[in-house]
Amino acid sequence: MIDDCTAVIMAGGDSRRMGRDKASLPLGEQTLIEHVATALNPVFGKVWVSVRRHRPEIDLPQVCDLVPDAGPLAGLCASLAKVASAGAEATTWIFVVATDMPFVQSRLIERLAQERKGFDAVVPVVDGHPQPLAAFYSTAALPTLERVLAGDGKHSLRAAFERLNVCYVDQSRFEESDPGLRSFIDLDTPQELDRARQELSA
């Protein structure tokens, strides 16, 4: 159990390529969001869902965006702000993962958690590409993230990373914890979801 961290499932996207809301899509006997929550529950004491607005069909604590139409950065800021406002009982980190990443592995999460000391964020890198929606963020990063969110530029996590002390963890350092890198399979299209269903039923 990672006691100083709250898990946050990011479920505020447009799902444009999928054509419908991803969180409620069935994969085997669970929905995508249920798969992610099942993977997170043994690792974290709290699991929240980041949403644009409250969704009564989701049976998990929810954090609503405070800034509309600002992408994942808005969800990240709202989640960190909620953690920070909880006072002495608050956790000091969040781990965020997208709702369309149903195969996230607990061993990978625990491995990344070991890299947090002295950093504002811990971001895995797969095939040279940072994975900001399978990463750890400290409440210490909140003021910087809020400034980026309030600015006139792009509300992108990568723009925010330029102002943070980020530990980028190359896949060579965590592949033993997730040999097939299944944690980073994201289901963006109906075709990708169909393949995942076929693999699950094989």
Domain ranges of the chain: 5-201
**How many CA atoms, within 13 angstroms, populate the side-chain half-sphere of residue 54?**
2
Mean pLDDT of 19-28: 78
d(CA 184, CA 116): 20
d(CA 48, CA 107): 20
d(CA 108, CA 174): 7
Which CATH code, of 3.40.50.2000, 3.60.150.10, 3.90.550.10, 3.20.20.80, is assigned to 5-201?
3.90.550.10
8 A C-beta contact, residue 144 and residue 163:
yes
Enter the pTM of the model: 0.92
Q: What is the pLDDT of residues 47-100, one digit of tens each?
A: 999 998 888 888 899 999 888 888 899 999 999 999 988 765 567 999 999 999
φ/ψ of residue 39, rounded to 5: -70, -30
What b/e readout covers 101-136, taking b as 16+ CB neighbours within 10 angstroms? bbbbbbebbebbbebbeebbbbbbebeeebbbbbbb
Which residue carries 């980041």 as its tokens?
Answer: 50
Residue type, 163: R
Q: What is the pLDDT of residues 132-170, one digit of tens each?
A: 999 999 999 999 999 999 876 667 888 889 999 999 999
Task: For residue 120, give Cα distances in angstroms to 108, 114, 128, 132.
Answer: 19, 13, 20, 13
